[in-house]
Amino acid sequence: MSQQFDSHPESEQSHLTDDGVQQMLLLAERLRESSGGVLDDAAILAVSEATGAPPEYVRLALKMRPQKKRETLGDKVRSEFLTLEPDTRRYVASVTAATATGFLLALYNRFTDPYQIYSMLAIISITAGIYNVAVCKDSKIAATGGAILGGLSCVAYILLSAFIRLPNEVSFALIPWTLAGALGGLLIHKLVDSYRGKIGLSDPVKERQDLLRQLVDIQDRLRSGEQAITFLSVDIVGSTRMKSMADPLSVEFTFTEYHKFVEMIAKRYGGRLHSTAGDGMTLAFDSPGQAFGAARTCQTGIIELNTFRNKIGVPIVLRCGIHTGKVVAPDATDVTSINFAEVIDIAAHLQKACPPGGIAVSESSAERLQGGIAAVGTERVSTDGGVPGYVWLPKSAVKALTPASPPPLPVE
């Protein structure tokens, strides 16, 4: 998931793991649901502080996250608007209000309006623009927004007046209105900021503290499904070539028996099947000792499968990888509900780095075994990501790899 956001500097996202990204998105989604489907700046900053992700990263992640339901045009516009930077949103709102105000005033002066619809809409538009300026986070943005509101409304009025052939009477007022808008925006912002509590506007500091409390509560509930699980990745070496050398029925029978063989051993050691991908199988255990015992039994017992149930004619050789880590399961009783977890990926990478017939156990898992790392072996491997592991090989393989002793010297 994290590889999708290459537009941001690497330094900002290098500390985020896949689990961190998932946690960030879960927190944001829960908070958005609790706030009626809208995630404003304060909520985005709270998610950022709680997860350590940059605010821009949170916005982009939410923008790129697939929607569960079909969006309307209004939903899409609001979503695009909320992904903008807060300062940019204030400017966009000022531009929108100014343009609408200028157009509506021009229409009011050009056409007979007995119901005063144009004038009322113009009042609403300018009021929205003033409110947008008043609640800006600092004086500089308020002054700029006010200048946009005053100046652009004149420009919009002039342009529409020329189009509908209305006498232009405000060209000279462009600069004064721009200056007046900047000064007015500054003064209104100062006034609102001084009396924020009395006029019913929320305090940004208090609002952020409330959001952080909500996030802590959400994190606690998410962590209720957190547990340490050991994953065992098992795969057949050269399975594609094996299949090409045998008829389909023999392949189907043999590989079905192989799956049954691995699942039976996993259940014997208290494990359960997490997933399958082709000939690869991922199994979950409560402890590294259970996973290591199951992997050894698979490697030493595969001879029985090859002797009596392998109809391909080529012996099946396995590779195994083991890693332990914490995962958050949506359903704590169903291990298959864990879809994305770094610990599963590491177990698979260790399996690929392992020599045929062996078991690659990550260092963190090996240290938790009875007897520690010595129970596995001294040979080391490493994944592409630099995760170290130790390799266990059956005695027959170790003996085959051990160089023969030189012949004794002749006795004179």
On whether both 166 and 240 belong to a single domain, the answer is no
pLDDT tier at 146 (50, 70, 90 boundaries)?
very high
Same domain, 95 and 71: no
Distances (CA, A) of 269 to 160, 179, 255, 262, 364: 79, 78, 22, 11, 20
pLDDT at 163 over 70: yes
Q: Do residue 243 and residue 385 come from a single domain?
A: yes
Residue 411, domain member (yes or no): no
Give CA–CA dist 356/121, Å, rounded: 76
Regarding whether 379 and 244 lie in a shared domain, the answer is yes
Residues 6+ apart with CB under 8 A from 241: none
Express the helix, strand and coil content of the chain in percent, nearest 5 each: 60, 10, 30
Provide the Cα torsion 368, 387, 47, 137; round to 10°: 140
Dihedral pair phi/psi, residue 21, rounded to 5°: -65, -45
* Residues 191 and 338 placed together within one structural domain of the fold: no
Tell which of 33, 50, 82 closes a domain. 82
Do both 259 and 378 map to the same domain? Answer: yes
Q: Is residue 114 part of a domain?
A: yes
Domain boundary among 82, 102, 128: 82
Residue located via tokens 């105000």? 101
Q: Is 221 within the bounds of a domain?
A: no
Domain boundary among 64, 82, 100: 82
- Per-residue pLDDT tens digits for 222-248: 565 678 899 999 999 999 888 888 899
Does residue 295 share a domain with residue 179?
Answer: no
Q: Are residues 162 and 77 in the same domain?
A: no
- Same domain? For 40 and 166 the reply is no
Instruction: Please report the pLDDT score of residue 412 as a whole number.
Output: 46
Q: How many structural domains does the chain have?
A: 3
Residue 156: name the closest of 99, 200, 225, 201 by CA: 99
Q: Which residues pair with 320 in a beta bridge?
A: 234, 359
Q: Name the amino acid, one letter, at 9.
A: P
> How many C-beta atoms lie closer than 10 Å to residue 383's C-beta?
21
Q: Are residues 156 and 295 in the same domain?
A: no
Q: Quick check: is 408 in a domain?
A: no
Instruction: Considering only residues 122 and 341, tell me which one the structure prediction assigns the higher pLDDT.
Output: 122
- The predicted structure's pLDDT at residue 405: 47
Span 46-62, pLDDT tens digits:
666 666 667 777 666 66
Q: What confidence score (pLDDT) does residue 112 get?
A: 77
Which of 68-72, 330-334, 338-342, 383-387 has the largest mean confidence? 383-387
- 322 lies in a domain? yes
Task: Mark whether 259 and 363 lie in a shared domain.
Answer: yes
* Structural domain includes residue 77: yes
Q: Check whether residue 372 and residue 390 sit in a common domain.
A: yes
d(C-alpha 370, C-alpha 385), whole Å: 27
Residue 9 structural domain:
2-82
CA-based radius of gyration for the chain = 33
